[in-house]
Structure 1
């Protein structure tokens, strides 16, 4: 997959795709329907148009973190779906100020040379979200690209949505989130140096930041782990603590992951951690010995729950 982070100056081979357009936060089953429709629309390379940062972050920078995925995790998921070209457009004052007509002309036609655009039926675009699907269709007829609007899809009468997925994760229901996503909810990023307390306790962990992400319910999880970079690219099972480490007075949430049956050095590498089962809430123990006994129990429970995954 080729990633392009602007709509200007693209080589000829980067133009002419059939594209799905949207924010694709979580890349859930509703998003999959839009992407699959784009794939079927015309015989052309499959592209995705999305925006970074998320427009909501641009317009409300001080609002609580809401994203299900950072840009790295989103790109990795889209690549797995067969995306050939990811147009991750920089969202700022310039894009926010384009009228629907200017967006179609400057971005879709002059910049990307799209052959077809597929969106969800509730898609809005352009300055003050003044463009909708009907306007996009009119612009497509004027400029020579096709447009498909995909109805919202769901399960059991409920539409798949990032909002519903956030709710499931906030309540500690990762398997319900997986049903709506079509894949495990994953936290991806670089392993950073921690305080090495886990190693001292006999449970070494890989530490990851949770910057700008929606926080699932804080606590301990059974997880699946993929090492994405470095010489040891492997998949394994593990147990993870997502939270503020109340035993040690820390307040900034992070993710501490223990990989079962692995003892290598992964500092600086990138992990993809899938939340599979919520085990328990965070707890402050009376002693380090009590904490270690609970970690042993957590690991045993995680191994049992992951045995069939």
Structure 2
């Protein structure tokens, strides 16, 4: 699977694909349906996904709190696991934001990517001020001799599956509901950073992972599965928040205690999967009370994970 961050001058093996279109934040079941439609329409062609980096909302509203479900490396891996051979992660800058729908279709999709078939969800639009409506895309694709599949929204009992709904469930602590829409547990990927090592002094050393541009889920304690750089998966318990008992931090982070594990992980990239919400973050009267609660949380997490 190749990740390409431009559309000009692509080699022949990076052109002529069937292309799924969309921001695809989270690569949830609805996005999977678009990829499936692109492949089914032209199984003879390589499957590609076109997305934007950064997310257009990050470009237009940089003051917004972080909201991403997946950053590019994790998004590309998820797309690759669904069969994508090519991921076009086009840089969303002022030039692309002001490109007309006509120019985007002709210069990017036709001339740049040489797309042979396109697939998208019902809400996909592109070009300056989202001028590339579904009607425009149908007409332009037909005129260019390019196939088009418009995939209806994927529904569950609560309505259409969307990245917005998944964010809302995560912010409420409902990780199982989010996982049902994602088709997998929600994960945060990042480097293990040095902390103040207070957890080590009470027998609960933690791997500290910054949230960065990821959405902040509900603050509190979770049962987790942590995938290490070498592929091993280690169960554990993690806190997401600002450590109010220890004086508070200016930003939230993940502090994951890995069960029966004593290796040095500093600097390694790890993936923390939220498997279940245990309790909300709260302040304890002293360090001893916090330690007692952490012990109870660890036992709860072991039970949830079956370890």
Q: TM-score range by the shorter chain?
A: over 0.9
Deviations 1:67-104 (A, max 9, x none): 22222221221122121111100001111111111001
Equivalent position of 2:216 in the other structure? 215
* Cα pair distance change 1:157/1:288, threshold 3 Å: closer
Runs of 4+ in 1 over 4 A off after TM superposition: none
Cα distance, 1:11 vs structure 2: 1.1
**Residues 72 and 189, structure 1, Cα contact 8 Å, conserved in 2:** no
Deviations 1:236-261 (A, max 9, x none): 21100000011222121001111112
Equivalent position of 2:239 in the other structure? 241
1:198, 1:22 → 2: CA distance?
A: 42
2:77, 2:256 → 1: CA distance?
A: 20
2:65, 2:206 → 1: CA distance?
A: 28
**Residues 245 and 251, structure 1, Cα contact 8 Å, conserved in 2:** no
Tell me the secondary structure at the aligned position of residue 254 of structure 2: strand
Equivalent position of 1:81 in the other structure? 82
**Residues 205 and 257, structure 1, Cα contact 8 Å, conserved in 2:** yes
2:141, 2:193 → 1: CA distance?
A: 46
Ranges in structure 2 where 5+ consecutive residues have no aligned partner = none
1:96, 1:221 → 2: CA distance?
A: 39
Deviations 1:139-162 (A, max 9, x none): 112223211100011112511011
Ranges in structure 1 where 5+ consecutive residues have no aligned partner = none
2:255, 2:80 → 1: CA distance?
A: 26
Count of residues in correspondence between the two structures: 305
- Taking structure 1 as the reference length, the TM-score comes to 0.95
Deviations 1:36-92 (A, max 9, x none): 111111111111100000001111111222222222221221122121111100001
1:295 aligns with 2:298: no
Equivalent position of 1:30 in the other structure? 30
2:251, 2:122 → 1: CA distance?
A: 39
Out of 281-290 and 1-10, give the one that drifted further: 281-290
1:124 aligns with 2:125: yes
Matches within 5 A, 1:215-294: 215-227=216-228, 229=229, 232-249=230-247, 250-294=249-293
**Residues 6 and 89, structure 1, Cα contact 8 Å, conserved in 2:** yes
Equivalent position of 1:137 in the other structure? 138
2:158, 2:303 → 1: CA distance?
A: 33
